[in-house]
Amino acid sequence: MSGQDSHGNSGSKLYLIVWFGLIALTGIEVFLGYKQLPLNVMLAMLMGLSLVKAALIIFYFMHMKFEKTALILTILPAMIIVISLLSIFFPDAQRLIEHSANR
């Protein structure tokens, strides 16, 4: 019985560590929002931190840490769709920005 207790406690401890890590990353993101950094640098940092947070949430809170095959089969098609849609919509958005700037 004590083996189950210690396993449960270490599992709770791991979740708390990940949770505090997510809070710390969110705090860094908020801090970066108040800094006067170049826009491209700030956006790259915020996107990187958001990817780390998303990975932590997926691996630990969605219990996908040990589901490597399922994770790949889930994320790969979604990534292909997102990249395809972005490659379609970004040129159109750029055209719209350039058109409104020329007015």
**What CA–CA distance (Å, rounded) separates 8 from 22?**
21
- Residue 61: what pLDDT? 81
Residues of the chain predicted below pLDDT 70: 1-10
Confidence (pLDDT) at 9: 58
Residue 65 DSSP symbol: T
Q: Where are the domains of the chain?
A: 1-65, 67-103
Helix-helix angle 2-34:39-56, to 10 degrees? 170
Q: Are 22 and 61 in contact (CB under 8 A)?
A: no
For 31-47, what is each residue's pLDDT tens digit?
998 988 888 889 889 99
pLDDT for residue 7? 46
Query: pTM for the whole thing?
Result: 0.58
Distance between CA 93 and CA 80 in Å, rounded? Answer: 20
